[in-house]
Amino acid sequence: MAKNSMYLYGKNSVLERLQSNPKSVRKIFMQDNFSDQLIIKAMDSLNIPVSRVSEKDLLRIKRADRLQGIVAEVSKYQYAPFEKLLNLPDKDRPVFIFLDSLNDPHNLGTIIRTAACFGGFAVVVPEHGSCEVNETVIHVASGGENFVPVSLVTNLATAMIEAKKAGYWAAGAVVEGGEDLNKVSLPFPLCLVLGSEGKGIRYGLQKHLDLKISLPMRGAQLSFNVAMACAIFSYEIVRQRPA
Domain 5-75 annotated CATH 3.30.1330.30: yes
* Stretch 125-131: mean pLDDT: 93
The residue among 123 and 217 whose pLDDT is bigger is: 123
Alpha helices in 47-155 (DSSP H): 55-61, 82-86, 105-118, 135-141
Percent over 90 (pLDDT), the chain? 87
pLDDT in tens, 134-144: 999 999 999 99
pLDDT in tens, 68-94: 999 999 999 999 999 999 999 999 999
* pLDDT value, residue 179: 96
How confident is residue 219, by pLDDT bands cut at 50, 70 and 90? low
How confident is residue 195, by pLDDT bands cut at 50, 70 and 90? very high
Give yes or no on whether 5-75 and 82-240 have one common fold: no
pLDDT in tens, 103-114: 999 999 999 999
The residue among 211 and 177 whose pLDDT is bigger is: 211
* pLDDT value, residue 68: 96
CA distance 31 to 34: 5
Architecture of domain 82-240: 3-Layer(aba) Sandwich (3.40)
- Is 80 exceeded by the pLDDT of residue 1? no
pLDDT in tens, 35-65: 999 999 999 889 899 999 999 999 999 999 8
Average pLDDT value for the chain = 94
Choose the weakest-confidence range: 65-79, 188-202, 215-229.
Answer: 215-229
Predicted TM-score (pTM) of this structure: 0.94
Write down the domain spans for the chain: 5-75, 82-240
CA distance 8 to 70: 9
The residue among 177 and 209 whose pLDDT is bigger is: 209
Strand partners, 97: 123, 192
CA distance 215 to 51: 49
Helix (H) or strand (E) holding 19: helix 11-20
